C-alpha cells in the first residue's frame, strides 16, 4: 500500500519543518538573525489512467484521468530577509543597518564574509573587529588617544582626539548588497558567504540609493515573530500526528487483509 511510504514522507517533511521552526525560536534573540521557512513540493505521480488520453477509437478524451501521488519532499529552507527592529544600546561601536546591505568581514582565509550583526569591538591594534576578532572591512584603525567615535548614517567613521576640537575621519564603512539575498550561505557565527545563487556582492556607501543607513548605538534584533512561530509549530505538530495516523491506519488495514481466510 502506497500510503505507508506517503505517510513516511509526510512525517519526514514535518520533522524538517519543526527543526526549522525550532531554529527560529532558538535564535529569537540573536542579533541580525533572519527567520527561515521550510518549503515543500509534491513528489512524482503514478498514472493509472493518463489525463488527455483517448478512451475509444472515436477519439473521445479522458477529461481527468487517475494520478496517484507519492508524497512530499523538501524543496528549500528559505531565508526571509525583512528588517528587524532596532534596539538602542548607546555603545559607540554597535551599528545597525536600517535597510538593505551587509557589513563586509575579512575571514581568516582571506575571503569575505557578510553579516547584519553590527556588534563590533576594537582589538589591541585599534582595528575595528567582530566579536570573533575578524576585521571589519576596510580595516579601520581607531587611534589610541581617541576620546570619542562617531559613525554617521553614510558610514564615515570620525574620531575626536584628545586636545583637538575638530573630529578626524579615519575610515569609510561600506555595505554590500546582492541580487538574491536568500542565496547567501549561512556558516554560523552570524556570517554569510556569497554563492552562485546569491550573485556577486555590489559594494556601496550606506545611505546611497539602494543601500541602508547606518544607525550608531543600536543593533538590529532578530526578525522572528514568536507568536507566528508557535502557531506554525502547533500546525506542524498536528500535521505530523495526522501523517502518523495514516501509517497506523494503513497498518491496521494490512493486518485485516492478512487475517482473511
Contact residues for 261 (Cβ-Cβ < 8 A; gap 6+): none
Residues 132, 103: Cα–Cα separation, whole Å: 15
Q: Helices 2-26 and 226-258 sit at what angle, rounded to 10 degrees?
A: 160
C-alpha grid cell, residue 96? 545597525
pLDDT band at 61 (very low <50, low <70, confident <90, very high): confident
Coil, strand, or helix at residue 190?
coil
Q: What is the pLDDT of residues 176-197, one digit of tens each?
A: 999 999 899 999 989 999 999 9
pLDDT at 234: 96
pLDDT band at 14 (very low <50, low <70, confident <90, very high): very high
Distances (CA, A) of 225 to 17, 24, 134, 258: 16, 9, 30, 50
Whether the full predicted model's pTM is greater than 0.85, yes or no, is: no
- Contact by Cβ (8 Å): 13, 75: no
Kindly list the domain boundaries of the chain, sorted by start residue: 2-81+224-258, 86-220
Amino acid at each position: 500500500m502506497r500510503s505507508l511510504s506517503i505517510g513516511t514522507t509526510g512525517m519526514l517533511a514535518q520533522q524538517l519543518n519543526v527543526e526549522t521552526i525550532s531554529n527560529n525560536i532558538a535564535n529569537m534573540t540573536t542579533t541580525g538573525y533572519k527567520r527561515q521557512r521550510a518549503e515543500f513540493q509534491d513528489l512524482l505521480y503514478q498514472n493509472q489512467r493518463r489525463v488527455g488520453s483517448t478512451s475509444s477509437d472515436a477519439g473521445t478524451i479522458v477529461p481527468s484521468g487517475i494520478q496517484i501521488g507519492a508524497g512530499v519532499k523538501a524543496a528549500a529552507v528559505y531565508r526571509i530577509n525583512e528588517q528587524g527592529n532596532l534596539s538602542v544600546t548607546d555603545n559607540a561601536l554597535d551599528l545597525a543597518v536600517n535597510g538593505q546591505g551587509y557589513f563586509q568581514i575579512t575571514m581568516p582565509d582571506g575571503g569575505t564574509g557578510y553579516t547584519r550583526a553590527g556588534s563590533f569591538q576594537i582589538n589591541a591594534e585599534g582595528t575595528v573587529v567582530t566579536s570573533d576578532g575578524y576585521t571589519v572591512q576596510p580595516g579601520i584603525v581607531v587611534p589610541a588617544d581617541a576620546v570619542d567615535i562617531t559613525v554617521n548614517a553614510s558610514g564615515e567613521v570620525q574620531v575626536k582626539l584628545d586636545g583637538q576640537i575638530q573630529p578626524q575621519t579615519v575610515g569609510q564603512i561600506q555595505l554590500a548588497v546582492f541580487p538574491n539575498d536568500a542565496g547567501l550561505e549561512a556558516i554560523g557565527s552570524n556570517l554569510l558567504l556569497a554563492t552562485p545563487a546569491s550573485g556577486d556582492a555590489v559594494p556601496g556607501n550606506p545611505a546611497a540609493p539602494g543601500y541602508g543607513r547606518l544607525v550608531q548605538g543600536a543593533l538590529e534584533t532578530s526578525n522572528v515573530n514568536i507568536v507566528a512561530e508557535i502557531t506554525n509549530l502547533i500546525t506542524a505538530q498536528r500535521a505530523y500526528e495526522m501523517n502518523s495516523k495514516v501509517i497506523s491506519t494503513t497498518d491496521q488495514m494490512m493486518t485485516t487483509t492478512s487475517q482473511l481466510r
